[in-house]
Structure 1
């Protein structure tokens, strides 16, 4: 391509996108959103963001009315979330005869609702750009602010769903990923969207190519600087492990259709025990099973069947150690009513339950039905029986013999930035996190890969390693810098024995200040928007 072609291609392409109307405009937005999905786990085609976000901005530039920008943004996000979240519908096929009516809401309804946030962000962007007559550079940075503000709201509103945040695209690029320790995933999303949006300036026909390409190159320079700092951070770590701790993570790989089958539950439990007792057990200090690995309801301190079951599975616990397992728990509230909990229990070799933890952030429609009293009788949550699960009190640290204090997280709880560690309870900072999960619901879809990547991000944000035991995978250990030190792939039956990495000496900035770091970064980007507008840099 000649220099003249390079200088004219961008404006021609941008102009054609801006002139699209009707269904063609919205179809182009959906396609751009779908392309952006390929930058996320497990594909990580990150450069595609440098195409998707400029296309979105060029489409919005052709919108004359605010509602048009809203629908362009909505279509982009809808096209982004349908392929990004299709795996949710896989869970319904475990019992499609009961849950067939939930298939359209899962495949199309949830993406449609989540897309409202992006649509509102694009609407606000349209109004501010027109109100303050912003040029392409200020507009691109403002767009990043609007996008991430809506990501944050999506992650908190109505219990929140912060899945597939743009910052997760960097999971395989460890030097850049270290930025999570400073500004968290939302902050890395802000940097990524801002840098990826800057090529929108190449569509400006009023200025020579040299002027419009400089901001894009400067954005890449920011990523290079972050990568340089992240590389230094990685090189400075000694990669130590906790002395005297050897964990055995058991992955029984039990299909969800068989997990709760009456004729298979005992065989499933025996299979998990046998995997736990495999060669090398004598070198292990603690055995860890996945979420609901014990397929029977148990009671803490209960007698009868609960006591017999605890004694039976406790035999696999190493001497002076414990079996840590997921199990559904039966309990009572203050008024004596029966309650069900998705729990973690630590069981010693003599069958004593020494600690327990109840999942506090339940999955809407999966473990409980919002507004159940307003719904017809007979409609149940996908993973619950006739009664919903009850949430536990919240994050807290657990202390077990032979282990540093840890923060337990069950399945879905790990996806929430800045909400995975207990507050100051006087017991000190947990030195690791433990995530028990059952991703068998989602088969061999992209969901388990996304979940594992999200789990790894929490380790970098908090500066502590995370250990993950999953029924069908992906199980593994991730150190405090995001490095995977042990891993058992999706759909593999077996176990892995792994040392426990050390936590960072001090909590990183994001672990200490949470999303205040994001707010500071947003203020900085907002200041650049004002600065560039005030000085007329690449203004209209």
Structure 2
């Protein structure tokens, strides 16, 4: 029962490290009981059970807001995520008898490999619950993301947890793994804290229009048109010649409000662009056939002309696209997604005055890949347009905000987070939130950002290098341990037997 209690404690602490509580400093402590239990359990099957139980409890509680769509959604997602932690636990159990240092290196590398794989598979991956997002609540760690990324912060978190687990699980209580992890954490934190990003001289005046919908969390008659009109009305209240960029969130001008296929709607936005002498980004959706649709950010210039659009590349599985639709047809709620989203081809950037803007849409903001590609394509600041109205006032919005702030910290540039029903927020180049709106409300977010004009950050250039280094280090540790165990003992390893006299 003790090991099961440790897993329960681990899942509870991990949940508490994320919103709604958001006690990110708990992240290293959260994984320590799980790792200690895996080191002490007697059977491989027992390790798999412990890992699966942790995943089911942690990811199920973390994403409980998905019950607003259906309880089966939470269960299905939690089971898939639990399979990852079960495989992790099973693999780590094989190293249970190793010395503390190689065991801790292996635990850290295996967890990093699990998160790297989980970010890509299945169906494009899922990054909610990555430990790097939690420990980033500690500012100096967040500032260091420009060097190591969120995945690198995960490495530090798990290394600390593995060191603590050794102290708990081993009777001799060796401190070397914890001391080594502590030294690494201190070095990274100091590197972040002593090299905070400073604002560049270039300034951009921005306005985020949080027009909301006439029926948040539900669907109602004429919803798309009314949502468009609410955003248009709020934009018309802005003072002329004050702003460089106006941002409408995802789904603010979709279908009947789509400016690409509806000339009347396009002209209404164009008039505001000319009146304000500003660029306007609007979030739209449009059907391209009876079975397909696209989700896009359309950009108008100050002359009222559409200068291009970014098409979302990373659909939400079962939310924007249904894989193997015929197989899952037995699920009634599949009818809520009658068409499949067509992904865009790649990053698209826009010139806004003398700086370059990149944008991604909703789900993509939870991943490092797509925003980083926008920055590599030349973006000097990012817009993340989203619509989380389905989840009402749950912790979903705050969880997502704490993920999108890492896109700012990783790439050392400001991020504009525009949410249909809020909260919308502005982040500086260190990932600090310096202004925001209330959730489930209409409002405007007015502020000044400083686009990045310097060289790309280390993370932008080299990506998840520390996570991959951790995986390679674990592989080396495994190879060394297998070799040591396969070599026959030498004469120096065998105690001599004294002759009988």
TM-score (norm 2): 0.87
Tell me the secondary structure at the aligned position of residue 340 of structure 2: coil
Residue among 20, 33, 39 paired with 2:11:
33
- Of the structure 1 ranges 113-122 and 191-200, higher mean CA displacement relative to structure 2 is found in 191-200
Residue among 156, 161, 168 paired with 1:203:
168
Aligned to 1:7: none
Residue among 489, 492, 498 paired with 2:447:
498
**Alignment deviations for residues 264-310 of structure 1 (CA, whole Å, 9 cap, x no partner):** 544433322222233534411221111010143466764xxx00111
Tell me the secondary structure at the aligned position of residue 355 of structure 1: strand
Residue among 67, 71, 74 paired with 1:107:
74
Tell me the secondary structure at the aligned position of residue 160 of structure 1: coil
Query: Alpha-carbon deviation of 1:81?
Result: 0.6
Correspondences of 1:17-166 after superposition (within 5 Å): 20=1, 25-26=3-4, 28-90=6-68, 92=69, 103-127=70-94, 129-130=95-96, 133-158=97-122, 159-166=124-131
* Gap regions ≥5 residues in structure 2: 485-501
**Residue 137 of structure 1 contacts residue 532 of structure 1 at CA under 8 Å; is this kept in 2?**
no
| Cα distance between partner residues in 2 of 1:85 and 1:292 | 23
Aligned to 2:414: 465
Query: Alpha-carbon deviation of 1:77?
Result: 1.4
Aligned to 2:154: 189
Aligned to 1:368: 321
Aligned to 2:309: 356
Aligned to 2:249: 290
Residue among 387, 402, 421 paired with 2:339:
387
CA distance 1:400–1:487, change in 2 (3 Å): same
TM-score (norm 1): 0.81
**Alignment deviations for residues 414-449 of structure 1 (CA, whole Å, 9 cap, x no partner):** 122233243799xx5211111110011111111111
Where do 4+ consecutive residues of structure 1 move more than 6 Å?
A: 528-535
CA distance 1:224–1:77, change in 2 (3 Å): same
**Alignment deviations for residues 200-230 of structure 1 (CA, whole Å, 9 cap, x no partner):** 23335643x6xx3564355334323222211
Instruction: Say if 2:403 is the partner of 1:447.
Output: no
**Alignment deviations for residues 487-520 of structure 1 (CA, whole Å, 9 cap, x no partner):** 2232342111122222161112221122344222
| Number of corresponding residues | 483
CA distance 1:387–1:531, change in 2 (3 Å): closer
Tell me the secondary structure at the aligned position of residue 284 of structure 1: coil
Query: Alpha-carbon deviation of 1:462?
Result: 2.2
Query: Alpha-carbon deviation of 1:403?
Result: 5.3
CA distance 1:258–1:109, change in 2 (3 Å): closer
**Residue 155 of structure 2 contacts residue 466 of structure 2 at CA under 8 Å; is this kept in 1?**
no
| Cα distance between partner residues in 2 of 1:256 and 1:204 | 53
Aligned to 1:397: 348
| Cα distance between partner residues in 2 of 1:279 and 1:505 | 31
CA distance 1:328–1:47, change in 2 (3 Å): closer
**Alignment deviations for residues 8-66 of structure 1 (CA, whole Å, 9 cap, x no partner):** xxxxxxxxxxxx3xxx7446423421221111244332443444323212322332221
* Gap regions ≥5 residues in structure 1: 1-19, 93-102, 536-540
Tell me the secondary structure at the aligned position of residue 435 of structure 1: strand
| Cα distance between partner residues in 2 of 1:383 and 1:322 | 34
**What root-mean-square deviation, in Å, do the aligned CA atoms of Structure 1 and Structure 2 show?**
3.0
Instruction: Say if 2:286 is the partner of 1:329.
Output: yes
Aligned to 2:490: none
Aligned to 1:262: 221
Tell me the secondary structure at the aligned position of residue 308 of structure 2: strand
Tell me the secondary structure at the aligned position of residue 342 of structure 2: coil
Tell me the secondary structure at the aligned position of residue 44 of structure 1: coil
Tell me the secondary structure at the aligned position of residue 417 of structure 2: strand
Tell me the secondary structure at the aligned position of residue 282 of structure 2: strand
Residue among 418, 422, 431 paired with 2:369:
418
**Residue 465 of structure 1 contacts residue 480 of structure 1 at CA under 8 Å; is this kept in 2?**
yes
Aligned to 1:523: 472
Tell me the secondary structure at the aligned position of residue 66 of structure 2: helix
| Cα distance between partner residues in 2 of 1:423 and 1:315 | 29
| Cα distance between partner residues in 2 of 1:204 and 1:376 | 48
**Residue 362 of structure 2 contacts residue 387 of structure 2 at CA under 8 Å; is this kept in 1?**
yes
Tell me the secondary structure at the aligned position of residue 350 of structure 2: coil
Query: Alpha-carbon deviation of 1:175?
Result: 1.2
Residue among 153, 165, 186 paired with 1:224:
186
- Of the structure 1 ranges 77-86 and 103-112, higher mean CA displacement relative to structure 2 is found in 103-112
Tell me the secondary structure at the aligned position of residue 327 of structure 1: strand
Query: Alpha-carbon deviation of 1:338?
Result: 7.0
| Cα distance between partner residues in 2 of 1:74 and 1:497 | 46
